Amino acid sequence: MKHTEHIYLTPMPVRIWHWLNAFGIVTLCITGLQIRFPDHANIFGTYKAAISLHNTAGVVVSISYALWLLYYMLVAGTLVKLYIPTIDDITRGVFRQAFFYFFHYFLGRPNPHHATPDSKFNPMQKAAYLMIMLVLLPLVIVSGAALMYIAPMREFILIIGGIKTLVSAHFLIACSFCAFLFVHIYLATLGHTPLAYFKPMWNGWEKVEHGEEEHEGAHKTEHAH
């Protein structure tokens, strides 16, 4: 018997954070492009307008990041469980998942990972989200804050090698965010329908179809034949 489960996967605070953060990061990338290449990309009128929009988006992303971290650490308490890859994820899981994305997906084989509220991410997602959320986002926030408050952060800027190093680091991390965005959006369309992974990010619920096997963690189950 085949049945369809609806799993409540993404709580509301995470969904609000995600779309606010996505909007903020896209704004930062576009305004950042104008700030870095003012002669080639004049999107927001004046240079000053691009800088103030960039700074505002930076503050919004930083505050929402702090709330995201507090939520996962103190309210949900699932940061480590969801975001830190296990030894098995690193030694076998990432390869199995990469094999799926590069080959098995195109042969119509099933995804080796089944999302549950306690194990939402496959090993590749865990590795990518860990890097983005716990390494690159904090680094881009700190380097951006140092560029916004150069005088008070003078000592820190000198310690890390001066303003040129700081600007280059901020720019390189921003480039990796742009690269992440393209891959992230492409991989997010590889569910059983192109919008299948977008729905839980919008209303919280993921629809999972099962064959013979039983699945735990369901909150609402519909049966079909």
91-97 CB contacts, 8 Å cutoff, 24+ apart = 93/122, 93/123, 93/124, 94/123, 94/124, 94/127, 96/123, 97/122, 97/123, 97/124
Looking at residue 89, its amino acid is D
130 HSE (CA, 13 A, CB side): 17
CB of 89 to ligand HEM, least distance (A): 15
- Asked if 201 touches ligand HEM (CB under 6 A), the answer is yes
Which residues, 6+ apart, have CB-to-CB distance to 94 below 8 Å?
85, 123, 124, 127
CB of 31 to ligand HEM, least distance (A): 14
- Asked if 53 touches ligand HEM (CB under 6 A), the answer is no
Kindly tell me which of 23 and 153 has the beta carbon lying closer to ligand HEM.
23
Kindly tell me which of 27 and 34 has the beta carbon lying closer to ligand HEM.
27
By CB under 6 A, the count of residues binding ligand HEM is 20
Residue numbers 19-38 binding ligand HEM by CB under 6 A: 21-22, 25-26
- Asked if 113 touches ligand HEM (CB under 6 A), the answer is no
Of the candidates 124, 127, 132, 208, which one interacts with ligand HEM according to CB under 6 A? 132
Q: What 3 state SS string does 115-184 have?
A: CECCECCCHHHHHHHHHHHHHHHHHHHHHHHHHHCCCCCHHHHHHCCCHHHHHHHHHHHHHHHHHHHHHH
- Asked if 79 touches ligand HEM (CB under 6 A), the answer is no
| Binding region for ligand HEM (CB under 6 A) out of 101-109, 167-175, 179-187, 209-217 | 179-187
**Residues in the site for ligand HEM, rule: CB under 6 A?**
10, 14, 18, 21-22, 25-26, 120, 125, 129, 132-133, 137, 181, 184-185, 188, 197-198, 201
